Structure 1
């Protein structure tokens, strides 16, 4: 099962995206071993004795999510966004391989306190910072980090800085006094926004409509605007009901309606009941009910015709040798 999952992810990644492919190959097996059963949201934390009662109640109100799911659900959409921004020339300076590697490792460890079951990570003094670096390095080495980023130790301070500043909350240590950073501060703060984006998109978008309607998820729109020079926005389609394979047909039909013949709109997040898209703010998309019906009908005809041609369900011969078939065959084959 692990091999199948790794192969599936590798095939889904652009062959030119060497950083993401290397991450999947070298680090994902270790991440699966270490964090697949570790809770990130809800679950174990609602019973943790190191948390106060109010914090435990907050976790009780949240759906459970494994640490591995929280990590991957944040990283892959963010890397896809980076590739889109660069392909559309919406960033003045492309993200280097090192910056991508630093971002990935930082986001992986942004919940290192939950991973190691400690109460926060202090960075108020140089001694605190060194201890934070050791804590992060220990966890990363469990996941084969050197194979993914051989020079990671040189950027460990940058990674630790991003780890403690991913979440937007009181007490984050944004000032760089005492820190001995390798990356320019302006680039580091940009990577921090990527980590925050990942943290939000990994958990705060349970349905397509939440991307715009959920108050906590609005930070995603803010960061998307910042990263794209106010060129890109989110939009979505969402179905009222989910009805098995038919829903899949409707979703695929709507994706074609949104994207066929249009530049500047891309399917981004996929759900059973709909899709979140990223589009250029200047692009206007208007779709009528008639277009939806026509597109879904065409999609159904195509699927049913292929099925009939391949296996002809219901087709048989009588004892007299007369061919019999359901009357609807010719509706799909004509």
Structure 2
């Protein structure tokens, strides 16, 4: 049996055994703790240590989106159909879509002081007064415009985007040839579709032994490992189309300000007669186009074009 160490009568008992009056007379000793290897974030909104923490106010949220908010308003157009344009310089034939403006007029302005953001409310088309509710009739009467069939808003970056006054009409001259636009519309509804048509599934094997499951989607959910259920968002057969689609970076090929026609390169969502939102492209440099209707410069007609128009008349 090993010998016991001698007792040191000069040492005090543990501090928790001493009375409170005596505990205050003891010298303060540093407390050893576990040192963390991860430096704490200065703020819960600071997602990057090199950047200032994000602010949770509405004005700060708009400031973060300012770089991707267009400088000027967009317009509403009707999809008239597709055609093709032959480029004599490059020798290529490009498929394009014809969009026509239908009496686009500014109905109201949204400001940050009153509404929390800057936007331009645009109406297009025509509607009979007896088919419009009384609140909307008063809204149109305030702007001194006729009742519109479509009313939509276009967000702008700052107060300079409100250069188009209430009641003014925006035509096809708002865009210029060679510019870039983004178009948004509701795609063509195709009804109920299977997994192969809707999501591009390859289907089941077509060999011998496969019975009536050639176009089936296969397993819909796992067993105990995934909770014995079908996980949300599973791609399955269902209604195809009839949803909002955005097509980015379409080039403006031709502009006919007199007839209100804008021809863009490529396809546009929706069937013929679909209402389309047309606005400056977000992924391209902002155009040096007009911010007000007074700044629109009409393209003069050349003498050759005037003779051709006179000969066809």
- TM-score norm. by structure 2 comes to 0.20
Higher share in strand? 2
The structure having more radius of gyration, on CA atoms, is: 2
Where relative contact order (Cα < 8 A, 6+ residues apart) is larger, the structure is 2
Higher share in helix? 1
- TM-score norm. by structure 1 comes to 0.19
